[in-house]
Amino acid sequence: MTDLPSRVDLAAEELSGVIDGDALTVTINRPEKRNALTADGYHGIKRAAMIVADEPALSFLVLTGTGDAFCAGGDMNAVGNPDRRWDSFTDAYDATPFETLGKIPKIVVCAVNGLALGGGLVMTLYADLVIASDRARLRVPDLTRGVYEAFIAARIPQRVGTLRANHLIYGNDWVEADEAERLGLVGKVVPHESLAEETARLLDRVRNTGPAARAAMKREMSRALPPVDVSGYWASMGTAEQIEAFTAFLQKRPPDWPAGADRDAFVATRRPAWTGAPPHPEGTEIS
């Protein structure tokens, strides 16, 4: 069997990839940005997933972070970075690694060392195993950014139930590690200092199961999950609402949500039914 290198180039400055035995561990190392991922970083995680999927000697992809953050999602300041190595323009609809993590026939483990929100939380939803430090905190902030996060919508209700999902998605509450375990957002919480050791022990237990049977089990369980509305997700990008949300975030101010005007004429015909106002005379322009 071909010897694999111990270090893997994932074409992203913020990622380090290390192969140890049958596991490729990817560490997000951008603590000054709470480990927010650039476009290169998202692509690098997909690259890691495909390496693990391809190589017979690899059984696990482990994702973790440095410092007090697992991953704060995508870095909105890095969209126009001229130094990026990956062309996110031509692959826009396939930019995220989320579905790839759920589709490869190997086991994906998220070792959540700190805060996980946005895309960081989504990666945990598409992983097979999630082990978290007792310092982990999770949040769904996407609607505050004007983004229809279809990946969240397709997975969180299945994990925690619809009503609790509504509170997480619409209320964008922070969820502490113990509560995340109780809800089923993470599978196990361990002391922060022993996260790496406990992750290694978890992998040892999984090694007692048959690789082919694991792959078949993952494939069958995935069949029961709802499809992701990826086209709808991308349609929410670049809208007036989303642009205002991102601008407000970068300017550190509350968003001034634009009001939709597409149905104004229709609504005006219905308003008299409940306001008691006289309907507009025929031929009168409705503004």
Q: What is the pTM for the complete model shown? A: 0.90
For residue 39, what pLDDT is reported?
86
pLDDT band at 138 (very low <50, low <70, confident <90, very high): very high
What is the pLDDT averaged over residues 81-110?
Answer: 80
pLDDT in tens, 184-233: 999 999 999 999 999 999 999 999 999 999 999 999 999 999 999 998 99
pLDDT in tens, 143-197: 998 999 999 999 999 999 999 999 999 999 899 999 999 999 999 999 999 999 9
Over its C-alpha atoms, the chain yields an Rg (Å, rounded) of 22
For the chain, which domains are there?
A: 7-235 (3.90.226.10)
The strand order across the sheet containing 7-8 reads 7-8, 15-20, 23-28, 60-65, 107-112, 129-133, 188-190
- Is the model's pLDDT at 86 over the cut of 70? no
Query: What's the rounded Cα separation, in Å, for the pair 226 and 239?
Result: 26
For residue 234, what pLDDT is reported?
87
Query: What's the rounded Cα separation, in Å, for the pair 262 and 254?
Result: 24
C-alpha distances out from residue 183 to 36, 186, 279, Å:
25, 8, 51
| Average pLDDT in the chain | 91
pLDDT in tens, 12-42: 999 999 999 999 999 999 999 999 999 899 9
For residue 162, what pLDDT is reported?
96
Residues 6+ apart with CB under 8 A from 1: 56, 57
